[in-house]
Structure 1
Amino acid sequence: MENIAGKKPALSWAKNIAMAAMVLIWVIPTFGLLVSSFRDRDQISATGWWQAMLPVELTARARTGTEATPDGPLFRVEGNIFDDEEARSYFSGTPGDISAFGTRGAEPTTYLAGTTGDLGDGETLTVNADGSYVWITPEKPGSRGQRVYFAAESPPKLTLDNYRTVLSGDNMGRAFLNTLIVAVPATFIPILVAAFAAYSLAWMEFPIRGLLIAGIVGLLVVPIQLALVPVLNLHNDIGVGQSFVGIWLAHTGFGMPLAVYLLRNYMAGLPRDIIECARVDGATDFQIFTKIILPLSLPALASFAIFQFLWTWNDLLVAKVFLPSADEAKVMTVKIADDLLGSRGGDWGILAAAAFVSIAVPLGVFFSLQRFLVRGLLAGSVK
């Protein structure tokens, strides 16, 4: 009685929970990356993205003033630490209370705010929570005040600076164009070649067909890292070397096994009656391929096009090997890795912004082709 039509399976709730968990596993990190793309480097280092709307305690530095007044045998310097331009640069808005201070970068929170720190030789420093300070020194200050490190709360800050940095990078527009020049041909060339190969392996009888299919399956497990140097040497020998032609051929070769395997399996599952009827009517293999197989294979072609475009668009390794190192030939992934992140260390805000900038085009490709994925495999072909 468990398989009665119209009755839900007993464990349907478990399936729904599992699907919801899988969605959350992907959505939560993506949302966190999106939030991080609007935060600055200091706040990302201090707190997690889930605390983006809360104040962050940041460590900053400044210098006291140099205008001193005599205080017996000593000199007294007073002021507010936030009057220093360097101190204000650490905070996006009005900073909060100071919690601790120090005079060494290695120990920026040696003294609690409001207490007096003994700097030795009769020299003392007091920094209050509101930023006011009193510096007592036995010698008259020169042209530079006392260096002060302190920890204070910074209000939450969401900014577009990371996106401006990514989009305004030198030759970033050229890198975007180079990525299109690489990704579009590297997507269509393997589809074109693989479609012909898949049809022949699925519907044409010839010797060693089984061995070819087995060889293609075997190539699926070969890491591309093993083939990078041999393929590059081959390209250098035939004269394409590090060029756009070379990277098109490399992406075509690396994507061909999967393309042939997927398309061949899909085409082999099409109804044999359609193919045989077309042959009885006098259609050639080329006519069958172009007028019957290709229209019916649009879902499979679109699926591989999505995966191949995503791979070539986001590729870094193959681009580093098969493209020149000159700035005018860099794609976006290389440009971001070398020129943006390479010069700024672990700037996760820029990395997050670059990820969302680079994902914009692949998302457009996916949403424009995903309608083919939900079509019936043979909608309207058999009556």
Structure 2
Amino acid sequence: MITSSKRTPLTYLVHATVLFLVIMWTIPTAGLFISSIRDKDQLSVSGWWTALSTSTQQLVTRANDPSTQTLEGGLYLIQGNIFDGAPGEVTKFGSSSLKPDAFDVGTKVELKRGQTLQVMKNGDYTFASPTEWKGSRSSRIFYTAETPPRFTLDNYREVLSAEGLGQSFINSLTVTIPATIIPILVAAFAAYALAWMSFPGRALLLAAVVGLLVVPLQMSLIPLLKSYNLIGEFFGVGSKTYVGIWLAHTGFGLPLAIYLLRNYIAGLPSEIIESARVDGASDFDIFRKIVLPLSFPALASFAIFQFLWVWNDLLIAMVFLGNDAEHLVLTGQLRELLGSRGGNWEILTASAFITIIIPVCVFFGLQRYLVRGLLAGSVK
């Protein structure tokens, strides 16, 4: 007998909620990607949701160099095209920044010393003068233009061709890989001890680990840096070294690592551990041959989080490595490309997608272990 399962309203509500959350998380990412391939002039005046519509912009450009002038009918002419071959239509133009849209296209405007300016709808312009144009500085043209959607990869080319980007990429890998492996190794030993070894104060240690999860990173940076500098002076080691940032990321990542791994290891079947002890296996043998292989989902899930945190970090890298080109990480190098005022949005959007390439590869390589690792110890 075949029975048909009837979905309850709660099931539809759950599916709708999940779909809504997925869309809400996807929209910003899609907007960031669209912005990264838009023309920088259009990106500066309109949002990514207008990427497929014609945009109206008030712009300024300089005419061709006076050395290009020609003599026709007793007038010296400087001619060219505002768009320089790109698509677009001029709707208004002007000769000063005070009135950038004072004249309609096609109008011949009188300038000083008998000079005239005429701008056509397709962007063609003509400066005319009864006397020869002097100097090397060309005149400016203010105009309002309607430009169709324009997409380009120039933003990515500018970022990828930036000087020092390759070195900063290597620096980020040099920081991230050890800062991910070291806390996993330390936390695995500590988690096994807190889960299966009996010793005085174990509960207090576990409570201390949980308490350290809520300590803000920013509050501990100054005392940590001072302690590291004192140790470095004592041993004659410079402060701007990779060892310092490895230890800093290890310290900040250990509480979550120990808590996560301890929950998983404590949930392993006790029969396996007891059988190994009956057979004469030491705690180290049990940890190495039984616990570690069975704990790979938890190890992989923490590795994903730790790798993402360290790879995207800028604050700790600036504190412990500084801003010199030899040790500058990828996030620091991309920040330098933004300019002194941080106004190059096209660089920011393209940089965001370049920086996520490695973390995305790590995530998809280990994501099948993520859910199992996060649910560690939640059920028996």
TM class by shorter chain equals 0.7 to 0.9
Please tell me whether residue 129 in structure 1 is matched to residue 121 in structure 2. yes
Residue 113 of structure 1 and its aligned partner are, at CA, apart by 2.5
In structure 2, the residue matched to 1:48 is 47
Matched residue type, 2:61: R
The TM-score normalised by the length of structure 2 is 0.85
TM-aligned CA distance change 1:134 to 1:353, over 3 Å: closer
Residue 346 of structure 1 and its aligned partner are, at CA, apart by 1.6
Is contact 1:202-1:268 (8 Å) kept?
yes
Other structure's SS at 2:350 match: helix
Give the gaps of 5 or more residues in structure 2: none
In structure 2, the residue matched to 1:102 is 94
Residue 252 of structure 1 and its aligned partner are, at CA, apart by 0.2
Please tell me whether residue 356 in structure 1 is matched to residue 353 in structure 2. yes
Matched residue type, 2:30: F
In structure 1, the residue matched to 2:267 is 269
Structure 1 CA distance for aligned equivalents of residues 45 and 176 of structure 2: 38
Is contact 1:78-1:133 (8 Å) kept?
no
Matched residue type, 1:218: G
TM-aligned CA distance change 1:130 to 1:161, over 3 Å: closer
Residue 273 of structure 1 and its aligned partner are, at CA, apart by 2.2
Matched residue type, 1:341: L
Residue 7 of structure 1 and its aligned partner are, at CA, apart by 4.9
Matched residue type, 2:342: G
Residue 341 of structure 1 and its aligned partner are, at CA, apart by 1.1
In structure 2, the residue matched to 1:314 is 312
More divergent stretch after superposition (269-278 vs 110-119): 110-119
Structure 1 CA distance for aligned equivalents of residues 99 and 192 of structure 2: 70
Superposed CA RMSD: 3.0
Structure 2 CA distance for aligned equivalents of residues 349 and 136 of structure 1: 37
Is contact 1:76-1:135 (8 Å) kept?
no
In structure 2, the residue matched to 1:37 is 36
Q: 2:287 aligns with which of 283, 286, 289?
A: 289
Residue 170 of structure 1 and its aligned partner are, at CA, apart by 1.1
Residue 199 of structure 1 and its aligned partner are, at CA, apart by 0.9
In structure 2, the residue matched to 1:347 is 344
Give per-residue Cα distances to partners, 1:321-348, cap 9 Å, x unaligned.
010322011110011112x113573212
Structure 1 CA distance for aligned equivalents of residues 79 and 180 of structure 2: 61
In structure 2, the residue matched to 1:248 is 246
Structure 1 CA distance for aligned equivalents of residues 141 and 36 of structure 2: 31
Matched residue type, 1:322: F
TM-aligned CA distance change 1:255 to 1:134, over 3 Å: closer
More divergent stretch after superposition (289-298 vs 132-141): 132-141
Matched residue type, 1:192: L
TM-aligned CA distance change 1:191 to 1:106, over 3 Å: farther
Give per-residue Cα distances to partners, 1:27-62, cap 9 Å, x unaligned.
121111112111232111122223323333342323
Matched residue type, 2:360: L
More divergent stretch after superposition (141-150 vs 242-251): 141-150
Structure 2 CA distance for aligned equivalents of residues 237 and 108 of structure 1: 61
TM-aligned CA distance change 1:262 to 1:10, over 3 Å: same
Is contact 2:75-2:131 (8 Å) kept?
no
Is contact 1:80-1:131 (8 Å) kept?
no
Other structure's SS at 1:11 match: helix
Please tell me whether residue 372 in structure 1 is matched to residue 364 in structure 2. no
Other structure's SS at 1:159 match: coil
Matched residue type, 1:269: G
Structure 1 CA distance for aligned equivalents of residues 275 and 223 of structure 2: 46
In structure 2, the residue matched to 1:212 is 205
Structure 2 CA distance for aligned equivalents of residues 300 and 29 of structure 1: 30
Residue 351 of structure 1 and its aligned partner are, at CA, apart by 1.2
Give the gaps of 5 or more residues in structure 1: 379-383
Structure 2 CA distance for aligned equivalents of residues 328 and 114 of structure 1: 56
Q: 1:153 aligns with which of 134, 146, 151?
A: 146
Structure 2 CA distance for aligned equivalents of residues 106 and 278 of structure 1: 86
More divergent stretch after superposition (287-296 vs 273-282): 273-282
Matched residue type, 1:261: Y
Is contact 2:176-2:310 (8 Å) kept?
yes
Residue 203 of structure 1 and its aligned partner are, at CA, apart by 1.2
Is contact 1:267-1:297 (8 Å) kept?
yes
TM-aligned CA distance change 1:7 to 1:130, over 3 Å: closer
Structure 1 CA distance for aligned equivalents of residues 157 and 220 of structure 2: 38
More divergent stretch after superposition (367-376 vs 8-17): 367-376
Structure 2 CA distance for aligned equivalents of residues 319 and 331 of structure 1: 7
TM-aligned CA distance change 1:261 to 1:107, over 3 Å: farther
In structure 2, the residue matched to 1:335 is 333
TM-aligned CA distance change 1:188 to 1:136, over 3 Å: closer
Other structure's SS at 2:163 match: coil
In structure 2, the residue matched to 1:23 is 22
TM-aligned CA distance change 1:200 to 1:296, over 3 Å: same
Matched residue type, 1:160: L
Residue 108 of structure 1 and its aligned partner are, at CA, apart by 2.1
Other structure's SS at 2:356 match: helix
In structure 1, the residue matched to 2:171 is 178
